[in-house]
Chain A
Amino acid sequence: MILLDSGTSYAKLLDTAGGQRRVVPAENLDANLAADLCCGHNVVGRGGKIVNELVALARGALRLTDSNDFVVLDVGSRDTKFVKIKDRRYDACDWNSSCGALVGFTIEMLGRYYGLDFAAISPEREAPASTCGVFGISAMFDRIITGSSPEQAVALFVRSSLQAIHAFCGRPKRVLLSGGLCDNPLALGSFPCEVEPLGRFVQLEGLLGYAENAAEEA
Protein backbone atom coordinates (compact mmCIF):
# COMPACT_ATOMS: atom_id res chain seq x y z
CA MET A 1 0.00 0.00 0.00
CA ILE A 2 1.36 3.42 -0.98
CA LEU A 3 0.80 6.20 1.55
CA LEU A 4 1.44 9.76 0.42
CA ASP A 5 1.54 13.07 2.27
CA SER A 6 1.83 15.38 -0.70
CA GLY A 7 2.83 18.82 0.53
CA THR A 8 3.47 21.97 -1.45
CA SER A 9 7.26 21.66 -1.53
CA TYR A 10 7.87 18.07 -0.44
CA ALA A 11 6.10 14.74 -0.66
CA LYS A 12 6.44 12.20 2.12
CA LEU A 13 6.01 8.60 1.01
CA LEU A 14 5.74 5.16 2.50
CA ASP A 15 5.27 1.84 0.77
CA THR A 16 3.90 -0.32 3.58
CA ALA A 17 5.34 -3.42 1.91
CA GLY A 18 8.55 -2.98 3.83
CA GLY A 19 9.60 0.32 2.35
CA GLN A 20 11.35 3.22 4.01
CA ARG A 21 9.73 6.55 4.70
CA ARG A 22 11.02 8.96 2.08
CA VAL A 23 10.99 12.72 1.50
CA VAL A 24 10.90 13.72 -2.16
CA PRO A 25 10.89 17.31 -3.49
CA ALA A 26 7.45 17.88 -4.98
CA GLU A 27 8.88 18.62 -8.43
CA ASN A 28 10.69 15.24 -8.46
CA LEU A 29 7.67 13.16 -7.51
CA ASP A 30 6.81 10.61 -10.19
CA ALA A 31 3.94 12.17 -12.11
CA ASN A 32 2.36 8.73 -12.51
CA LEU A 33 2.59 7.75 -8.86
CA ALA A 34 -0.77 6.52 -7.60
CA ALA A 35 -1.35 6.41 -3.85
CA ASP A 36 -3.80 4.24 -1.95
CA LEU A 37 -4.20 6.68 0.91
CA CYS A 38 -3.11 10.28 0.80
CA CYS A 39 -3.35 13.74 2.29
CA GLY A 40 -1.82 17.12 1.55
CA HIS A 41 -2.10 20.09 -0.74
CA ASN A 42 -1.02 18.26 -3.90
CA VAL A 43 -3.11 15.10 -3.72
CA VAL A 44 -5.31 15.85 -6.69
CA GLY A 45 -4.90 13.19 -9.35
CA ARG A 46 -3.08 10.73 -7.10
CA GLY A 47 -6.10 8.47 -6.73
CA GLY A 48 -6.91 6.56 -3.59
CA LYS A 49 -8.71 7.75 -0.50
CA ILE A 50 -8.00 11.31 0.61
CA VAL A 51 -7.72 11.85 4.35
CA ASN A 52 -8.24 15.26 5.92
CA GLU A 53 -4.83 16.72 6.83
CA LEU A 54 -5.87 17.82 10.30
CA VAL A 55 -7.25 14.36 10.99
CA ALA A 56 -4.01 12.77 9.75
CA LEU A 57 -1.98 15.19 11.88
CA ALA A 58 -3.99 14.44 15.03
CA ARG A 59 -3.96 10.68 14.51
CA GLY A 60 -0.28 10.66 13.67
CA ALA A 61 0.65 12.64 16.78
CA LEU A 62 -1.47 10.37 18.98
CA ARG A 63 0.53 7.41 17.66
CA LEU A 64 3.86 9.16 18.25
CA THR A 65 3.38 10.44 21.80
CA ASP A 66 2.02 9.08 25.04
CA SER A 67 1.10 12.54 26.31
CA ASN A 68 -2.53 12.98 27.27
CA ASP A 69 -2.67 16.70 26.62
CA PHE A 70 -0.73 18.41 23.85
CA VAL A 71 -0.75 20.73 20.88
CA VAL A 72 0.63 19.30 17.67
CA LEU A 73 1.67 22.02 15.26
CA ASP A 74 2.52 21.53 11.61
CA VAL A 75 4.43 24.34 9.97
CA GLY A 76 4.34 23.58 6.29
CA SER A 77 5.70 25.37 3.27
CA ARG A 78 2.39 26.97 2.53
CA ASP A 79 0.29 26.88 5.67
CA THR A 80 0.28 26.33 9.40
CA LYS A 81 -2.15 24.14 11.24
CA PHE A 82 -2.56 22.69 14.70
CA VAL A 83 -4.71 20.29 16.66
CA LYS A 84 -5.08 20.54 20.43
CA ILE A 85 -5.63 17.25 22.21
CA LYS A 86 -7.01 16.95 25.74
CA ASP A 87 -7.25 13.58 27.50
CA ARG A 88 -6.14 12.10 24.17
CA ARG A 89 -9.28 13.42 22.49
CA TYR A 90 -9.84 16.29 20.11
CA ASP A 91 -10.22 19.65 21.83
CA ALA A 92 -9.58 22.33 19.17
CA CYS A 93 -7.99 22.93 15.79
CA ASP A 94 -7.21 25.67 13.36
CA TRP A 95 -5.61 26.04 9.97
CA ASN A 96 -4.00 29.21 8.80
CA SER A 97 -3.37 29.57 5.10
CA SER A 98 -3.19 33.33 4.79
CA CYS A 99 -1.59 35.43 7.56
CA GLY A 100 1.23 33.43 9.12
CA ALA A 101 1.34 31.17 6.11
CA LEU A 102 4.33 30.47 3.85
CA VAL A 103 6.63 30.42 6.88
CA GLY A 104 8.27 27.10 6.07
CA PHE A 105 8.74 28.05 2.44
CA THR A 106 10.09 31.51 3.29
CA ILE A 107 12.65 30.28 5.82
CA GLU A 108 13.94 27.69 3.36
CA MET A 109 14.05 30.26 0.57
CA LEU A 110 15.99 32.74 2.72
CA GLY A 111 18.45 30.04 3.70
CA ARG A 112 19.16 29.26 0.07
CA TYR A 113 19.26 32.89 -1.01
CA TYR A 114 21.86 33.88 1.59
CA GLY A 115 23.59 30.48 1.68
CA LEU A 116 22.94 30.17 5.42
CA ASP A 117 23.93 27.35 7.72
CA PHE A 118 21.01 27.38 10.15
CA ALA A 119 22.98 25.31 12.66
CA ALA A 120 25.56 28.09 12.93
CA ILE A 121 23.11 30.93 13.67
CA SER A 122 22.25 31.89 17.24
CA PRO A 123 18.49 32.09 17.79
CA GLU A 124 17.08 35.43 18.87
CA ARG A 125 15.16 35.45 22.15
CA GLU A 126 12.99 38.48 21.36
CA ALA A 127 11.77 39.96 18.10
CA PRO A 128 9.33 42.74 17.28
CA ALA A 129 5.90 41.37 16.40
CA SER A 130 5.24 41.43 12.68
CA THR A 131 1.71 41.70 11.38
CA CYS A 132 2.30 39.28 8.55
CA GLY A 133 5.07 37.56 6.64
CA VAL A 134 5.23 40.31 4.04
CA PHE A 135 5.85 42.99 6.68
CA GLY A 136 8.26 40.60 8.39
CA ILE A 137 10.32 40.23 5.21
CA SER A 138 10.20 43.97 4.66
CA ALA A 139 11.52 44.56 8.20
CA MET A 140 14.23 41.96 7.60
CA PHE A 141 15.53 43.71 4.49
CA ASP A 142 15.41 47.04 6.35
CA ARG A 143 17.68 45.55 9.01
CA ILE A 144 20.14 44.28 6.42
CA ILE A 145 20.44 47.63 4.64
CA THR A 146 20.98 49.34 7.98
CA GLY A 147 23.88 47.12 8.93
CA SER A 148 22.60 43.84 10.36
CA SER A 149 24.13 40.67 9.04
CA PRO A 150 21.79 38.43 7.01
CA GLU A 151 22.21 35.83 9.74
CA GLN A 152 20.95 38.13 12.49
CA ALA A 153 18.16 39.58 10.33
CA VAL A 154 16.96 36.12 9.34
CA ALA A 155 17.13 34.97 12.97
CA LEU A 156 14.89 37.89 13.96
CA PHE A 157 12.49 37.09 11.12
CA VAL A 158 12.33 33.44 12.19
CA ARG A 159 11.73 34.42 15.80
CA SER A 160 8.95 36.91 14.94
CA SER A 161 7.29 34.36 12.63
CA LEU A 162 7.35 31.70 15.33
CA GLN A 163 6.02 34.16 17.91
CA ALA A 164 3.04 34.75 15.61
CA ILE A 165 2.56 31.01 15.08
CA HIS A 166 2.79 30.39 18.83
CA ALA A 167 0.02 32.96 19.36
CA PHE A 168 -2.02 31.36 16.55
CA CYS A 169 -2.04 27.99 18.30
CA GLY A 170 -3.09 29.46 21.67
CA ARG A 171 0.31 30.13 23.29
CA PRO A 172 0.82 26.63 24.73
CA LYS A 173 3.74 25.98 27.08
CA ARG A 174 4.88 23.18 24.82
CA VAL A 175 4.27 22.18 21.23
CA LEU A 176 4.87 18.95 19.39
CA LEU A 177 6.27 20.11 16.08
CA SER A 178 5.59 18.47 12.72
CA GLY A 179 7.14 19.31 9.38
CA GLY A 180 10.38 20.45 7.84
CA LEU A 181 11.21 22.91 10.63
CA CYS A 182 11.99 19.88 12.81
CA ASP A 183 15.26 19.69 10.85
CA ASN A 184 16.08 23.37 11.29
CA PRO A 185 18.16 24.11 14.43
CA LEU A 186 17.56 27.86 14.21
CA ALA A 187 13.79 27.37 14.14
CA LEU A 188 13.86 24.86 16.98
CA GLY A 189 15.83 27.31 19.09
CA SER A 190 13.57 30.22 18.21
CA PHE A 191 10.25 28.93 19.50
CA PRO A 192 8.95 30.99 22.41
CA CYS A 193 7.98 27.78 24.22
CA GLU A 194 9.24 24.27 24.78
CA VAL A 195 9.23 22.35 21.50
CA GLU A 196 9.44 18.64 20.83
CA PRO A 197 10.15 17.82 17.19
CA LEU A 198 8.15 14.83 15.96
CA GLY A 199 9.69 14.93 12.51
CA ARG A 200 8.40 15.14 9.00
CA PHE A 201 6.30 12.00 8.94
CA VAL A 202 3.55 12.80 11.45
CA GLN A 203 0.79 12.94 8.87
CA LEU A 204 2.19 9.86 7.15
CA GLU A 205 1.97 8.15 10.55
CA GLY A 206 -1.66 9.23 10.72
CA LEU A 207 -2.27 7.67 7.30
CA LEU A 208 -0.58 4.50 8.50
CA GLY A 209 -2.94 4.40 11.48
CA TYR A 210 -5.84 4.89 9.12
CA ALA A 211 -4.64 2.01 6.93
CA GLU A 212 -4.16 -0.30 9.91
CA ASN A 213 -7.62 0.50 11.28
CA ALA A 214 -9.16 -0.13 7.87
CA ALA A 215 -7.32 -3.47 7.63
CA GLU A 216 -8.54 -4.49 11.10
CA GLU A 217 -12.11 -3.55 10.29
CA ALA A 218 -11.92 -5.52 7.05
Chain B
Amino acid sequence: MRRIGIVGVPPRALVAEHRGSDGVIVDLDMPQPGVRKASAEALVPRVFCATLRTVAANALSLDLDLIVASVGEGKCDGARFVMRQLGEVADTPIITVSRSDTLSCGYPICTSSLPARRKMELIVEGVAQEPPKADLEPCRPAAGFWGVPPHDFSILDLLPDRTHIFGWSRCMENGTPADMDLELEVDPAVPTIFFAQAFCPKNALARSLASRMSGLYVEVDEVMSRSAAAKVQAFLELGGGRR
Protein backbone atom coordinates (compact mmCIF):
# COMPACT_ATOMS: atom_id res chain seq x y z
CA MET B 1 0.00 0.00 0.00
CA ARG B 2 1.45 3.36 -1.04
CA ARG B 3 1.82 6.00 1.64
CA ILE B 4 1.65 9.53 0.28
CA GLY B 5 2.68 12.43 2.50
CA ILE B 6 1.07 15.78 1.75
CA VAL B 7 2.19 19.25 2.84
CA GLY B 8 0.07 22.38 2.66
CA VAL B 9 -2.76 22.35 0.16
CA PRO B 10 -1.65 20.53 -2.99
CA PRO B 11 -4.33 20.17 -5.69
CA ARG B 12 -6.73 17.33 -4.87
CA ALA B 13 -6.48 15.96 -8.40
CA LEU B 14 -2.71 15.67 -8.08
CA VAL B 15 -3.01 13.92 -4.73
CA ALA B 16 -5.66 11.56 -6.11
CA GLU B 17 -3.54 10.74 -9.14
CA HIS B 18 -0.61 9.59 -7.02
CA ARG B 19 -2.71 8.00 -4.34
CA GLY B 20 -4.29 5.54 -6.74
CA SER B 21 -7.00 3.23 -5.58
CA ASP B 22 -5.45 1.96 -2.38
CA GLY B 23 -2.98 4.62 -1.27
CA VAL B 24 -2.97 6.15 2.18
CA ILE B 25 -2.65 9.90 2.69
CA VAL B 26 -0.58 11.20 5.61
CA ASP B 27 -0.94 14.90 6.39
CA LEU B 28 2.62 15.88 7.28
CA ASP B 29 1.51 19.26 8.69
CA MET B 30 -0.21 17.44 11.55
CA PRO B 31 1.53 15.60 14.42
CA GLN B 32 1.66 11.87 13.66
CA PRO B 33 1.71 9.11 16.30
CA GLY B 34 5.17 8.02 17.37
CA VAL B 35 7.05 10.86 15.67
CA ARG B 36 9.33 12.89 17.93
CA LYS B 37 9.49 16.59 17.09
CA ALA B 38 13.18 16.59 18.01
CA SER B 39 13.93 14.55 14.91
CA ALA B 40 13.24 17.70 12.87
CA GLU B 41 16.48 19.20 14.16
CA ALA B 42 18.41 17.32 11.50
CA LEU B 43 16.76 19.65 8.99
CA VAL B 44 15.51 22.83 10.67
CA PRO B 45 16.51 24.94 13.70
CA ARG B 46 14.81 24.36 17.01
CA VAL B 47 13.50 27.92 16.93
CA PHE B 48 11.26 27.61 13.88
CA CYS B 49 7.61 27.37 12.92
CA ALA B 50 6.02 24.45 14.82
CA THR B 51 4.09 23.36 11.74
CA LEU B 52 7.20 23.19 9.58
CA ARG B 53 9.10 21.40 12.35
CA THR B 54 6.26 18.89 12.34
CA VAL B 55 6.53 18.54 8.57
CA ALA B 56 10.28 17.97 8.82
CA ALA B 57 9.98 15.48 11.68
CA ASN B 58 7.25 13.50 9.92
CA ALA B 59 9.06 13.50 6.58
CA LEU B 60 12.28 12.27 8.18
CA SER B 61 10.64 9.69 10.44
CA LEU B 62 7.83 8.09 8.46
CA ASP B 63 8.19 5.48 5.77
CA LEU B 64 6.67 7.28 2.77
CA ASP B 65 6.58 6.45 -0.93
CA LEU B 66 6.09 10.03 -2.07
CA ILE B 67 5.61 13.56 -0.73
CA VAL B 68 3.34 15.98 -2.55
CA ALA B 69 3.87 19.48 -1.18
CA SER B 70 2.46 22.86 -1.99
CA VAL B 71 5.06 25.54 -1.42
CA GLY B 72 5.53 29.23 -2.02
CA GLU B 73 2.67 31.65 -2.46
CA GLY B 74 -0.08 29.17 -1.55
CA LYS B 75 1.78 27.87 1.50
CA CYS B 76 4.97 29.64 2.54
CA ASP B 77 8.62 30.13 1.72
CA GLY B 78 9.47 28.06 4.79
CA ALA B 79 7.87 24.99 3.19
CA ARG B 80 9.78 25.70 -0.01
CA PHE B 81 13.06 25.79 1.91
CA VAL B 82 12.25 22.70 3.97
CA MET B 83 11.25 20.66 0.92
CA ARG B 84 14.39 21.70 -0.92
CA GLN B 85 16.58 20.64 1.99
CA LEU B 86 14.60 17.45 2.50
CA GLY B 87 15.27 16.57 -1.12
CA GLU B 88 18.98 16.75 -0.39
CA VAL B 89 18.95 14.33 2.52
CA ALA B 90 15.97 11.98 2.09
CA ASP B 91 15.33 9.20 -0.41
CA THR B 92 11.60 9.87 -0.64
CA PRO B 93 10.63 11.41 -3.98
CA ILE B 94 9.11 14.89 -3.58
CA ILE B 95 6.73 16.72 -5.88
CA THR B 96 6.37 20.42 -5.16
CA VAL B 97 3.70 22.62 -6.59
CA SER B 98 3.07 26.33 -6.23
CA ARG B 99 -0.61 27.09 -6.42
CA SER B 100 -2.24 30.25 -7.67
CA ASP B 101 -5.77 28.96 -8.25
CA THR B 102 -8.51 31.55 -8.30
CA LEU B 103 -11.55 29.31 -8.80
CA SER B 104 -13.57 29.55 -5.61
CA CYS B 105 -15.06 26.34 -4.22
CA GLY B 106 -16.91 28.17 -1.43
CA TYR B 107 -16.46 27.80 2.30
CA PRO B 108 -19.63 26.44 3.91
CA ILE B 109 -17.68 24.78 6.73
CA CYS B 110 -16.22 28.12 7.86
CA THR B 111 -19.62 29.78 8.17
CA SER B 112 -21.51 26.79 9.57
CA SER B 113 -22.63 26.32 13.15
CA LEU B 114 -20.27 23.40 13.77
CA PRO B 115 -17.89 23.76 16.75
CA ALA B 116 -14.66 25.53 15.76
CA ARG B 117 -12.47 22.47 16.33
CA ARG B 118 -14.70 20.28 14.17
CA LYS B 119 -14.66 22.92 11.44
CA MET B 120 -10.88 22.97 11.41
CA GLU B 121 -10.70 19.16 11.37
CA LEU B 122 -12.98 19.08 8.34
CA ILE B 123 -10.98 21.79 6.57
CA VAL B 124 -7.72 19.92 7.16
CA GLU B 125 -9.22 16.56 6.12
CA GLY B 126 -10.63 18.28 3.04
CA VAL B 127 -7.13 18.85 1.64
CA ALA B 128 -6.83 15.21 0.60
CA GLN B 129 -10.40 14.48 -0.28
CA GLU B 130 -13.56 16.43 -0.76
CA PRO B 131 -15.51 16.50 2.49
CA PRO B 132 -18.85 14.74 2.48
CA LYS B 133 -21.67 17.03 1.41
CA ALA B 134 -23.41 17.57 4.69
CA ASP B 135 -26.16 20.05 5.38
CA LEU B 136 -24.11 22.95 6.60
CA GLU B 137 -26.46 25.81 7.32
CA PRO B 138 -24.71 29.16 7.65
CA CYS B 139 -25.05 30.85 11.02
CA ARG B 140 -24.68 34.42 12.26
CA PRO B 141 -21.18 34.71 13.74
CA ALA B 142 -20.75 35.26 17.47
CA ALA B 143 -16.95 35.32 17.13
CA GLY B 144 -14.24 34.78 14.56
CA PHE B 145 -11.00 32.85 14.30
CA TRP B 146 -8.53 34.15 11.72
CA GLY B 147 -5.42 32.22 10.81
CA VAL B 148 -3.84 28.97 9.74
CA PRO B 149 -4.85 25.64 11.29
CA PRO B 150 -3.06 25.86 14.64
CA HIS B 151 -0.46 23.32 15.66
CA ASP B 152 -2.35 23.01 18.95
CA PHE B 153 -6.08 22.80 18.23
CA SER B 154 -6.96 23.43 21.89
CA ILE B 155 -7.23 27.18 21.19
CA LEU B 156 -10.32 26.32 19.13
CA ASP B 157 -12.02 24.80 22.17
CA LEU B 158 -12.06 28.23 23.82
CA LEU B 159 -14.22 29.71 21.08
CA PRO B 160 -17.98 29.96 21.44
CA ASP B 161 -20.61 28.31 19.29
CA ARG B 162 -21.14 30.12 15.99
CA THR B 163 -17.47 31.03 15.54
CA HIS B 164 -16.69 31.73 11.90
CA ILE B 165 -13.31 30.80 10.42
CA PHE B 166 -11.35 33.41 8.46
CA GLY B 167 -7.87 33.79 7.07
CA TRP B 168 -5.77 31.11 5.40
CA SER B 169 -7.91 28.29 6.83
CA ARG B 170 -10.87 29.72 4.90
CA CYS B 171 -8.69 29.95 1.79
CA MET B 172 -7.90 26.25 2.28
CA GLU B 173 -11.56 25.32 2.24
CA ASN B 174 -12.14 27.62 -0.70
CA GLY B 175 -9.42 25.86 -2.68
CA THR B 176 -7.53 29.14 -3.17
CA PRO B 177 -4.62 29.04 -0.70
CA ALA B 178 -2.81 31.91 -2.46
CA ASP B 179 -5.79 34.28 -2.41
CA MET B 180 -4.52 37.00 -0.12
CA ASP B 181 -7.54 39.20 -0.71
CA LEU B 182 -9.77 36.50 0.73
CA GLU B 183 -7.25 35.84 3.47
CA LEU B 184 -7.38 39.47 4.60
CA GLU B 185 -11.14 39.84 4.36
CA VAL B 186 -12.76 39.80 7.80
CA ASP B 187 -16.02 41.04 9.26
CA PRO B 188 -15.17 44.09 11.42
CA ALA B 189 -18.35 43.62 13.44
CA VAL B 190 -17.28 40.17 14.66
CA PRO B 191 -14.99 39.87 17.71
CA THR B 192 -12.12 37.97 16.16
CA ILE B 193 -9.03 36.15 17.40
CA PHE B 194 -6.15 36.77 14.98
CA PHE B 195 -3.88 33.79 15.37
CA ALA B 196 -0.44 33.02 13.97
CA GLN B 197 2.12 30.35 14.72
CA ALA B 198 5.27 31.72 16.32
CA PHE B 199 8.08 32.42 13.82
CA CYS B 200 5.61 32.61 10.92
CA PRO B 201 5.62 35.74 8.69
CA LYS B 202 1.82 35.70 8.90
CA ASN B 203 2.29 37.30 12.32
CA ALA B 204 2.65 40.58 10.41
CA LEU B 205 -0.85 40.13 8.99
CA ALA B 206 -2.38 38.87 12.23
CA ARG B 207 -1.00 41.70 14.32
CA SER B 208 -1.93 44.53 11.98
CA LEU B 209 -5.40 43.13 11.29
CA ALA B 210 -6.04 42.71 15.01
CA SER B 211 -5.00 46.30 15.58
CA ARG B 212 -7.22 47.69 12.83
CA MET B 213 -10.21 45.47 13.63
CA SER B 214 -10.01 45.79 17.43
CA GLY B 215 -9.45 42.06 17.57
CA LEU B 216 -7.09 40.02 19.70
CA TYR B 217 -3.69 39.06 18.34
CA VAL B 218 -2.46 35.71 19.63
CA GLU B 219 0.86 34.13 18.77
CA VAL B 220 1.43 30.55 19.89
CA ASP B 221 4.41 28.28 19.39
CA GLU B 222 3.82 24.56 19.92
CA VAL B 223 1.41 24.28 22.82
CA MET B 224 -0.89 27.08 23.84
CA SER B 225 0.32 28.73 27.04
CA ARG B 226 -1.92 29.49 29.97
CA SER B 227 -1.49 33.21 29.35
CA ALA B 228 -2.55 32.89 25.70
CA ALA B 229 -5.64 30.94 26.76
CA ALA B 230 -6.44 33.54 29.42
CA LYS B 231 -6.18 36.36 26.87
CA VAL B 232 -8.65 34.63 24.56
CA GLN B 233 -11.08 33.94 27.39
CA ALA B 234 -10.83 37.49 28.73
CA PHE B 235 -11.26 39.04 25.26
CA LEU B 236 -14.45 37.06 24.73
CA GLU B 237 -15.79 37.46 28.25
CA LEU B 238 -15.14 41.21 28.43
CA GLY B 239 -16.82 41.82 25.10
CA GLY B 240 -13.68 42.61 23.12
CA GLY B 241 -13.91 43.49 19.45
CA ARG B 242 -17.42 44.89 19.64
CA ARG B 243 -17.79 48.16 17.77
Using a CB–CB cutoff of 8 Å, the interface residues on chain A facing chain B are 52-55, 58, 79, 81, 83, 89-97
Residue of A83, A91, A96 touching B234 (CB-CB under 8 A): A83
Establish whether residues A93 and B231, one from each chain, have CB atoms under 8 Å apart when the complex forms.
yes
Number of chain B interface residues as a range:
10 to 19
Name which of B225, B228, B235, B238 has the most chain A CB atoms within 10 A of its CB: B238
Establish whether residues B234 and A52, one from each chain, have CB atoms under 8 Å apart when the complex forms.
yes
Establish whether residues A94 and B237, one from each chain, have CB atoms under 8 Å apart when the complex forms.
no
Establish whether residues B227 and A97, one from each chain, have CB atoms under 8 Å apart when the complex forms.
yes
Tell me the minimal C-beta distance from B159 to chain A in angstroms.
Answer: 15
**Complex interface: chain A residues within 8 A of B214 (CB):** 91-92
Tell me the minimal C-beta distance from A103 to chain B in angstroms.
Answer: 15
Establish whether residues A96 and B237, one from each chain, have CB atoms under 8 Å apart when the complex forms.
no
Measured in the bound complex, the distance between the Cα atoms of B233 and A90 in whole Å is: 13
**Complex interface: chain A residues within 8 A of B188 (CB):** none
Establish whether residues B240 and A95, one from each chain, have CB atoms under 8 Å apart when the complex forms.
no
Question: Chain B residue with minimal CB distance to A101?
Answer: B227
Q: Across the A-B interface, give the 6 residue pairs with the lowest CB-CB distance, nearest first.
A: A54-B234, A90-B238, A95-B227, A97-B227, A52-B233, A52-B234
Name which of B230, B235, B240 has the most chain A CB atoms within 10 A of its CB: B230
Establish whether residues B225 and A54, one from each chain, have CB atoms under 8 Å apart when the complex forms.
no
Question: Chain B residue with minimal CB distance to A57?
Answer: B234
Tell me the minimal C-beta distance from A217 to chain B in angstroms.
Answer: 16
Q: Indicate whether A54 sits within 8 Å of B231 (C-beta atoms), given known contacts A90-B239, A93-B240.
A: yes
Establish whether residues A93 and B227, one from each chain, have CB atoms under 8 Å apart when the complex forms.
no
Establish whether residues B238 and A95, one from each chain, have CB atoms under 8 Å apart when the complex forms.
no
**Interface positions of B from 202 to 243, Cβ below 8 Å from A:** 214, 216, 225-228, 230-231, 233-235, 237-240
Establish whether residues B230 and A54, one from each chain, have CB atoms under 8 Å apart when the complex forms.
yes
**Complex interface: chain A residues within 8 A of B235 (CB):** 90, 93
Q: Indicate whether A53 sits within 8 Å of B230 (C-beta atoms), given known contacts A89-B239, A90-B238, A93-B240.
A: yes
Establish whether residues B230 and A95, one from each chain, have CB atoms under 8 Å apart when the complex forms.
yes
**Complex interface: chain A residues within 8 A of B227 (CB):** 79, 81, 95-97
Tell me the minimal C-beta distance from A79 to chain B in angstroms.
Answer: 6
**Complex interface: chain B residues within 8 A of A91 (CB):** 214, 240
Establish whether residues B239 and A52, one from each chain, have CB atoms under 8 Å apart when the complex forms.
no
Establish whether residues B239 and A55, one from each chain, have CB atoms under 8 Å apart when the complex forms.
no
For this complex, 14 residue pairs linking A to B, each with C-beta atoms less than 8 Å apart, are A52-B233, A54-B230, A54-B231, A54-B238, A55-B234, A55-B237, A79-B227, A89-B239, A90-B239, A92-B214, A93-B231, A93-B238, A93-B240, A96-B227
